[in-house]
Amino acid sequence: MYNLLRDLGVPTLSLLASADRSMLLEDLAASSGWHAAGSDDLRCAEAGEAVARWYRILHDSGQQIAADPPDFLARDVDVLSSEGINELARALQFAGRPAMKRASESIEALKKGLQSLPQTLNHNDFYWTNLALSRGDAPRRAVIYDYHLMGVGPACCDYRNVLSVLEGDAAAAFRVTYGSLPEEHFILDRPVATLYALHEAARQPAFPRWAEALVDQVRSGEFEENLHAALILL
């Protein structure tokens, strides 16, 4: 993955050595150029701008290979199927809800809708623990690392993921620096993103706290509204 990103011109931390199942990266604690981000950076405008610039490079460069990606790059939505959604509904005690039945019946059309959007590389795992920031630069630079969830999809997936984590000034700065994406992309993404996140949550040994808000989306009718809006666009 590191070699691919470097070939595409995407900034990465220095890779000092590697083997089949291991890598030795630059030590951020000892680096003269980078430092590990902290949770406070999630509210810092300069950090939000730097993160936006890194994602812009990733997404602009990633379009070069998205049409014919390497085998190790998957699409998150590929794990979703009609039967899988039915099993998910049973596991979460949502089997009787019309929205889940409609999602099961429509999932292939929803996946095709998302795949019809411009495709690029997606990092899929933004958080401050995966973020390095430059020391003393103006403007600040960022490198996002930890690429085990990287795959292919529309840029709105990363955009949504990043803005679910950034707060306040950082979120505002990200939006301005990255630029806008068509609202239709987000409309198509919302219900599928909920289904994928619930699918991943249900696989955990204990249902994670972060997924409780997604369960509330289904209970409140918000998921059904998002699903209806997406289906109108297909």
- What is the CATH classification number for the domain harbouring 109? 3.90.1200.10
d(CA 234, CA 229): 9
Rounded mean pLDDT, 60-86? 93
Give the DSSP H or E segment for 134: strand 131-134
What DSSP state is assigned to residue 118? P
d(CA 43, CA 181): 22
The total of other beta-carbon atoms located within 10 Å of residue 80's CB is: 21
d(CA 133, CA 112): 37
Whole-angstrom CA distances from 153 to 45, 65, 73, 180 are 27, 11, 10, 17
The residue among 169, 190, 197, 150 whose CA lies nearest residue 50 is: 169
Rounded mean pLDDT, 120-149? 93
Q: Note the pLDDT of residue 191.
A: 98
pTM score: 0.93
Number of domains the chain contains: 1
Name the least confident of 26-30, 187-191, 199-203: 26-30
Give the DSSP H or E segment for 184: helix 183-202
Residue 17 has pLDDT above 90, yes or no: no
Residue 15 has pLDDT above 90, yes or no: no
Rounded mean pLDDT, 212-234? 97
For 161, the token pair is: 């993921």
Q: For residue range 21-44, what is the model confidence (pLDDT) as tens digits?
A: 777 888 899 898 999 999 999 999
* Sign for the pseudo-dihedral over CA of 155, 158, 164, 169: negative
For 7, the token pair is: 């070939």
For 73, the token pair is: 């790059």
What residues make up the domain containing 151? Answer: 2-233
For 187, the token pair is: 């409309």
Residue 58 has pLDDT above 90, yes or no: yes
